């Protein structure tokens, strides 16, 4: 029965995980740990102008709306942790659905003036570290970290600050 429950949980988690291949079942940034960086707030567009992100403060976290020319808009909630100057967002769908479990995606972000860079933390190197250092469930093409949130936070604090943890960043420009 436990195996069936875990399988259903993981299947539900994957339905809301977007395109990231490394996600966590549990939040890894608590409300008490979360910090707000005013430089992230505002509207940001991709270089080609086809994608737009609106980032607003929500208490000690953020609400993020994403829209692309060819898709509906998506709503997210996020909390930020800073480790050795590296900013990592705990990004989760704001959509609540009783039949799915929202998963938490680690996203590295950094600002330089009117530029925002971001990358999902899902490199092959980081996934290998996750396999060796935290509880995971392996699916067809994703790793789901099943460890408690504080364990995932410690894992990310140790490994996600390495340049090998993320792929090439997306570059956005401030539009508002």
- Are residues 135 and 160 in contact, defined by beta-carbon separation less than 8 angstroms? no
Q: What is the tens place of the pLDDT at every residue in 50-71?
A: 999 999 999 999 999 999 987 7
- Structural domain boundaries enclosing 115: 2-37+78-170
Q: Per-residue pLDDT for 13 more than 80?
A: no
Asked whether residue 123 is domain-assigned, the answer is yes
Q: What is the pTM of this model?
A: 0.84
- Three-state secondary structure call for residue 153: helix
Q: What is the tens place of the pLDDT at every residue in 90-120?
A: 999 998 888 888 899 999 999 999 999 999 9
Q: Per-residue pLDDT for 165 more than 80?
A: yes
Whole-angstrom Cα distance, residue 136 to residue 170?
27
Asked whether residue 125 is domain-assigned, the answer is yes
Structural domain count of the chain = 1
Q: Which two tokens stand for residue 118?
A: 């971001």
pLDDT at res. 19: 66
Q: How far is CA 122 from CA 16, 82, 107, in A?
A: 16, 18, 9
Share of the chain above pLDDT 70, in %: 89
Asked whether residue 99 is domain-assigned, the answer is yes
pLDDT at res. 119: 95
Asked whether residue 108 is domain-assigned, the answer is yes
Asked whether residue 145 is domain-assigned, the answer is yes
């Amino acid at each position: 029965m436990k195996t069936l429950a875990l399988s259903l949980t993981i299947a539900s988690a994957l339905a809301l995980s977007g395109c990231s291949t490394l996600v966590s079942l549990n939040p890894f940034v608590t409300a008490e740990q979360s910090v707000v960086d005013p430089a992230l707030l505002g509207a940001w567009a991709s270089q080609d102008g086809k994608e737009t992100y609106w980032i607003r403060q929500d208490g000690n976290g953020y609400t993020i709306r994403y829209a692309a020319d060819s898709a509906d808009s998506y709503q997210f909630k996020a909390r930020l942790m800073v480790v050795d100057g590296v900013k990592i967002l705990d990004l989760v769908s704001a959509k609540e659905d009783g039949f799915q479990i929202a998963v938490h995606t680690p996203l590295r972000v950094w600002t330089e003036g009117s530029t925002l860079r971001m990358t999902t933390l899902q490199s092959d190197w980081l996934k290998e570290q996750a396999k060796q250092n935290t509880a995971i469930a392996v699916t067809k093409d994703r790793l789901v970290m099943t460890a408690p949130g504080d364990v995932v936070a410690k894992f990310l604090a140790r490994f996600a600050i390495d340049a090998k943890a993320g792929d090439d960043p997306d570059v956005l420009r401030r539009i508002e």
